[in-house]
Structure 1
C-alpha cells in the first residue's frame, strides 16, 4: 500500500465483505442445524459477527480528510487485521465442515473456500500486502486437504489447487501492477517523477480539510527558475529538460520524505511541508528552509559539458485555519513568487496581508478597467516636444484613466494590467483612433506640428489584426501629408520576438508613411545589430538616465553613448523627462535633437494643448506650463 487514495477503495470493500460473510454464513448455521453440527456453526458465526462489527467500526471511523499520516497508518493496520481475520474465519469453517463427509458438507466447504479465494483476489487486488497472504491463508489448507485424502485423485486435486493458487496470485499481481502503473502515470510528472499539479491539489485539499479540525499549520513553497526560457532558447529543450530533472533531483534530496513535492508545469515546482502546531514556527521554518534550498538550487549545473548557473524566485504561503480552496492558496504563493521576481528575482517573498491588499487592489483595478472605455473614463494627454531652439515641434500622446472612485490611476499600474489581461488591444486601438482624430482636427484648425508620437505596446504590435487596424484608421482619418507626422513608439521589449517578423511588420506600416521610434532606449534588450537591422527613425533617451544628469557620471556617459550611436546610425534623438536647465544644457551640448519634460510643459489636455500652441506660435522663450496631469 503506497498511496492514500487506495485507502478509500479498500474502505468501500469493508461493507461488501461483511455482507458476503454474514449472509452466506447463515447457510452454514442452517446446514449445521439440519445435520447436527449447529454448535460449531453458531460459535463460528458469532465470531464472524464480532469481526464484522470491528469492520463496521473501521468503516465508520474512516475520515481521510481529517486523518493525519500516523492515524491513517494506524487505521490501515487495523483494516489489514480485519481482512486477515474475516478470511481466516472462512478457512476455519472450511476446516470444521471439510470432515463432514457423511452429510456431504465437505463439498460445500470446498466450494466456499474456492469462492472466498476468488473474492479475495478481486476485492484486495489494489494491495499486494493483503491479497498475497490472504490467498495463502485460503488456498494452502485446501491444498493440504486434497493431499491428505491419500488417493490419486486427491494428489491431482492438490496439484490443481496449487496451480489455481498460482493463477490467482499471477492475475492479482498483474492487475495490481497495472493499477499502480496507471495511478502513478496519472499522478506523477513524466519528466521529473515528481507529483503533478492534479495530485498536489487533491492532496492539499485533504490537508486543508484536516487542519480545520487540528488547528495545525503547513506552508507551501512555489519555486520558479529565473530566466529558464533562455536555456531552452539558446541550448535547446533537451538541455532544458535535463536541467529540470537535475533541479527536481536536488529538491528531492534536500526535502527527503517529509515533504510533498510537485512540478506544476514548465519550470515551476511546489513543496508542501509537514504540519506544525504554531503559525510563527511554521513561517520561520519556511524561511530558513527556503534560504537553504535557494542556495542548493544556485549551485552550478554541469549538463553535457555546459556549465549553467541558475537562480530561483520563491513564494511562500502559510495554510492554516482559513477554509479556502487549495488553488487559492497556490495562487497566493504564486503572487508572492511573482513579487520576488518583480523585486529583482533570486529572492524569497512570504505572502502577507499587505501583499494581499495590493493584489486585491490590482484585481479591482482590473475589474474596473474592463468598463473604463464604456464609461468614457479614458482620456488622452499630449506632452509637447521642443527642438534645440525651444520651439514646440510635436507632442507625445499619453493616456490617463480617471475613475470616479479611484481618481486618476497611474498608467504604470493600469497599462501593465491591460497588457496582462489582453485589454491592451482594445485600449490601444481606442487610443490610436482618438489620436488620429485629434491630429486630423488639428490639421484642419491650422495647428501644425512636425511629429505626433503614439505609444504602441508589444502585445498590440504583434496582434494578428494590428496592421489591418492601422491601415483602416489611416484611410479613415489621415491623408498622405498628415500620416507622415505619425511616429509609433515601441519599447526594447519588442526584441523578444523574431527579428525578421519585427522588420516585416514595421515595413508594412512604414509603407503607409508612419515612422518608428525606439522608446526607453538603453534599459532593455537593444544591441548594435538590432539598431542596424530595424527600420527605426528615432531613439528616445530614457528618463531614468536624464534624471541623474549632474549627479551620476555613469548615466551621463550612457547618454552621450546613446546620442553618439544615434548619430552614427543617422537617427533623430529625443530626451524625455527633462526637468531642469542643467539637464537641457547637457543634452543640447551633446547634440540631442528633441526634448520633452516638465521643464518645458506637462502633459496637456486637447484644448489646453491647442491654447498652448496658439500662445507660443511664432517661437520665443519657453514658459514652463504646470497643468495637473
Structure 2
C-alpha cells in the first residue's frame, strides 16, 4: 500500500471507492430507511449531503406515495425472501424534468452468521440506452417516407385497441407504377407523400387510423363501440378517399392523376387474426381493380373461395406439363367452298384432381405465375409435330395453315423467336404453313421488344394474325405499320349477325379495313348457315366455328379429315 493510502482511514478509502464506482449505490436497514449512499446517488436525488439522506425513507425522495410504494414493496420482498432482484429497468420521475431510466439491482445484506440486516442496491442511469431503444422501436413502427404508421404498427393497433366492431380498408393506387416509371422515383416518392397527406385528412375526418403498408398501398382502420352503420361509415371513407385521390396533383411542374382500388372488410371479433383481416381486404381490393379500378368493393365469402381455387390451380399447374396433363385440340377452318384451309391449336388441361380446367382459368394463372412460357413452348412443339403429320398424311391443301395463339406475356421472353426457329428447323416444318395469333392488347402495350419479336417472326415466313379483333383497343396506326396478315373477327360480332344491324355495320367496317390494308379476314364462332350467308354478303369468306366442327383431338381430326380437300 502506498504511503498516501496509509494516511487514509478505512472509512475515507471506502468513501473514495463508493464515489468512484460508475454506479449509484445505496443501502438500507430492515425498516427500509437509508443507512448510506454514494455521492452519485445524492446528486441524482437533489440532496446536498449524504448525511441528509441517512434515516430517511423513499417517501422523502419521491414526490408521492404512489411512486414510493412500489420501490418499498420491492425492497421488502428482497428482505423477506432473501432473494436478489437483478437487472430491473424502471423510470425515475424527476420534478420539472424528463424522467430518467434506471437499471436496478437489489440484494439482501447478511451478517457472517447469515442474518439479513438490510438491503444493498445499485442502479445505473440507462436513459440514453432506453431512449435509443425507443427510437429504434419507433422507427420500426413508422414509414420513413410518409411518416405514417407502417404495417407492423397497424397490426399492433388492431390487436391492442378496445373495440366492439371495426373495419379495414386496403387501398392500392391505380396508375402509380406508370407514373413512377415515366417520371422517376423522386417524383413517385413525392406523389406518395402528397397522397398520404390527402388520405390523412380523410382518416382524421372519420376518427380513423391511417397506415402505409408499403409501395403504393395504404390502409385505414376504423373502430366503433357498436355495429350501427359500420358498413356505411366504411363506404363513406372509401368514397372520400376515391374523390380526393382522383384530383390532379402538381409535383415539380408535372400534373399527375392517380385513382385507387379499395377493398373493405369488417372485423367483428378481436379473436380473429390480423392476417385474415388483411387477406380479406386485399381480396376485395383485387376485385375492385379487376373491375376497372377507381372504385371500392366489400369482401364476400365467394372471394375467399375464388382465391382458394386460384391457389389450388396454381399448385396443380406447376407440375401439369411434367405429369403430361396438357393436350391439344384443333378446330378446323374453312373457306366459302367449305375447303379445309387450316386449324387452330387450342390447349386443354385435364387434371387428376380437378378434372377439366377451363382455359379461361388456367391461362390467366399461367401468365401471372410466369409458367406461360413453359406451357407455350410445349404447345408450339406439339402442334408442329401434329401438323407435320397432316401435311404428310392428309394431303391438305398447299395453303393449309396451323394457327397457334401466343400470349402477350410470351413476347416479353427474349427467347421466343429463337425457340420457334429451333422447332421449325428440328421438325423441318415450313414456316409458311404456320400462323401466330396475337391479341390486340399486345398492340396497345406497344412494348418495343414485343414488336421487334413480331417482325422477326414475320421475317421467318410466319403469318401474323390478330385474334378476337374488335374486342380490344388496338391502334389503327399499328395495324398499318406491323407486318400483319389476317384479322380474326370475334364471335361476339358474328352471333345473330343476320338480325343485328349494329354487328353488320361493325363487321362490314372490319372487312373494309382488312381489304384496305390488304389483310385476310376470318370469322370466329360461326354456328349457323344463316351467319355464313350474312358473312358472304359482307365479303368475308373464311370461317371457323361449331357449324363446321368442334375442336377435335389430333386422332379425331386426322380420321375425319383424311383426304379432305
Bin for the TM-score computed over the shorter chain: 0.7 to 0.9
The match for 1:172 is none
CA, structure 1 residues 186+617, in 2 after alignment: closer, same or farther (shift >3 Å)? same
Counterpart Cα distance in 2 of 1:413 and 1:537: 29
Counterpart Cα distance in 1 of 2:61 and 2:261: 64
The match for 2:4 is none
Residues 1:40 and 2:45 aligned together: no
- Give the C-alpha shift of residue 266 in structure 1: 4.6
Residues 1:506 and 2:440 aligned together: no
Question: TM-score, normalised on structure 2?
Answer: 0.75
CA contact (8 A) 2:151 2:211 kept: no
CA contact (8 A) 2:394 2:564 kept: no
More helix by share: 1
CA contact (8 A) 2:172 2:216 kept: yes
Counterpart Cα distance in 2 of 1:502 and 1:434: 23
Match among 363, 380, 391 for residue 328 of structure 2? 380
Match among 373, 388, 402 for residue 452 of structure 1? 402
Question: How do 1:543-562 residues align onto structure 2 when only pairs under 5 Å count?
Answer: 543-547=491-495, 549-550=497-498, 552-562=500-510
CA contact (8 A) 1:507 1:535 kept: yes
More strand by share: 2
Match among 20, 31, 41 for residue 36 of structure 2? 31
Which deviates further from its counterpart, 241-250 or 576-585? 241-250
Counterpart Cα distance in 1 of 2:236 and 2:288: 16
Question: How do 1:71-150 residues align onto structure 2 when only pairs under 5 Å count?
Answer: 83-84=93-94, 119=125, 122=128, 125=131
Counterpart Cα distance in 2 of 1:533 and 1:255: 50
The match for 2:174 is 226
Structure 2 unaligned residues grouped into runs of 5+: 1-21, 38-49, 75-89, 101-120
What does the per-residue CA deviation read over 1:113-154, in whole Å, with 9 as the maximum and x for residues that have no partner?
A: xx99x9375366469xxxxxxxxxxxxxxxxxxxxxxxxxxx
- Give the C-alpha shift of residue 487 in structure 1: 0.5
CA, structure 1 residues 435+89, in 2 after alignment: closer, same or farther (shift >3 Å)? closer
The match for 2:431 is 483
CA contact (8 A) 2:166 2:267 kept: yes
Match among 463, 473, 483 for residue 535 of structure 1? 483
The match for 1:51 is 67
Number of residue-to-residue matches in the alignment: 491
Counterpart Cα distance in 2 of 1:436 and 1:552: 39
Question: How do 1:141-540 residues align onto structure 2 when only pairs under 5 Å count?
Answer: 179=135, 187-190=142-145, 193-195=146-148, 199-210=149-160, 216-229=164-177, 243-256=191-204, 258-273=207-222, 275-278=223-226, 281-299=229-247, 310-321=258-269, 326-449=274-397, 450-479=400-429, 482-498=430-446, 500-540=448-488
What does the per-residue CA deviation read over 1:503-529, in whole Å, with 9 as the maximum and x for residues that have no partner?
A: 321232223322211112222231121
Question: TM-score, normalised on structure 1?
Answer: 0.68
CA contact (8 A) 1:21 1:48 kept: no
CA contact (8 A) 1:385 1:393 kept: yes
Structure 1 unaligned residues grouped into runs of 5+: 1-19, 59-78, 91-111, 128-175, 619-629
Find the residue that maps to 1:30 and give its secondary structure: strand
CA contact (8 A) 1:547 1:578 kept: yes
Find the residue that maps to 2:224 and give its secondary structure: coil
Counterpart Cα distance in 1 of 2:98 and 2:214: 48
